[in-house]
Amino acid sequence: MNQVRLCGMLLLLLAPAGLMAAPGLDAVTTTPAAGGGQTYTLSIQVLLFMTALTLLPAGLLMMTSFARVIIVLAILRQALGTQSTPSNQILIGLALFLTVFIMMPVFEESYTAGIEPYLEDRMEMTQALEQAVKPVRAFMFAQTRESDLALFSRIGRFGDFADQDQVPLSVLLPAFATSELKTGFQIGFLVFIPFMIIDLVVASVLMSMGMMMLSPMIISLPFKIMLFVLIDGWALVFGTLASSFLV
């Protein structure tokens, strides 16, 4: 049920204007042709619907916690020096699961406010979209820096906004993405420091012993892995990432 709510919410948020105005989705339409035959054409609504599906990954990256999570995990792997372990598929999977965990309250609120009434024919598409977007906007505003909002407002020549309701998504989305990148790199910097200290200590010891031909990475790698395991590093990283979205 949670997965259905998640997919439904994203489809509703990313639905094109033409799709919202359509009363239904007729996949194929038939037109009488000369000689008593028929011509089959693909409905434009289906084409717009398929276009909306292609925007789902962009919506996941731009409107959720995914960007911050994957940045921190990628920097963590680089700090450990394990090259391609965990693999990209594992990192993306971890980031997706953690993103769903973090965003589920927002998705459930959007589903209750907009999608559920629309599916039960208690609300029009436009009104349902407005109600479903409100929890997502509140989440993005809570994670967006005012300086980033002011930057894109100035670039777009929108001027000052009296309240959050006046901020369009064209300004909020890039401001939120910029703030997420900045926050992700800040957390990644803090994660990187302890492992860099281990590398410096190992390199200094090897230099003092005259073992210049031996790579410090080979010696420091087991120490970094041991440290990360002993302090329950994965739980600490995931807990820090999840708690960083609490307001």
Q: What is the pLDDT of residue 70?
A: 92
Element (H or E) spanning 167, and its range? Answer: none
Say what the pLDDT of residue 87 is. 87
Average predicted confidence (pLDDT) for the chain? 78
- Degrees to nearest 5, angle at CA 239 with 64 and 182: 50
Q: What is the DSSP letter of 20?
A: H
Q: Which of these ranges, 109-113, 163-167, 177-181, 210-214, has the smallest mean pLDDT? A: 210-214
Burial class (CB in 10 A: 0-12, 13-18, 19+), 87: exposed
**Residue % of the chain over a pLDDT of 70:** 79
- 107 is written with which tokens? 């998705």
Which pLDDT band, with edges at 50, 70 and 90, does 11 fall under? very low
Residue 145: partners with Cβ closer than 8 Å, 6 or more residues away? 175, 178, 179, 182
- pLDDT digits 0-9 by tens, 119-174: 777 877 778 888 888 888 888 888 888 888 888 888 888 877 777 778 888 888 88
Q: What is the pLDDT of residues 72-105, one digit of tens each?
A: 999 999 888 887 888 889 999 999 899 889 988 8
pLDDT of residue 22: 43
pTM reported for the whole predicted model: 0.73
Query: In the chain, what is the straight-line distance between the N-terminal and C-terminal CA atoms, in Å?
Result: 27
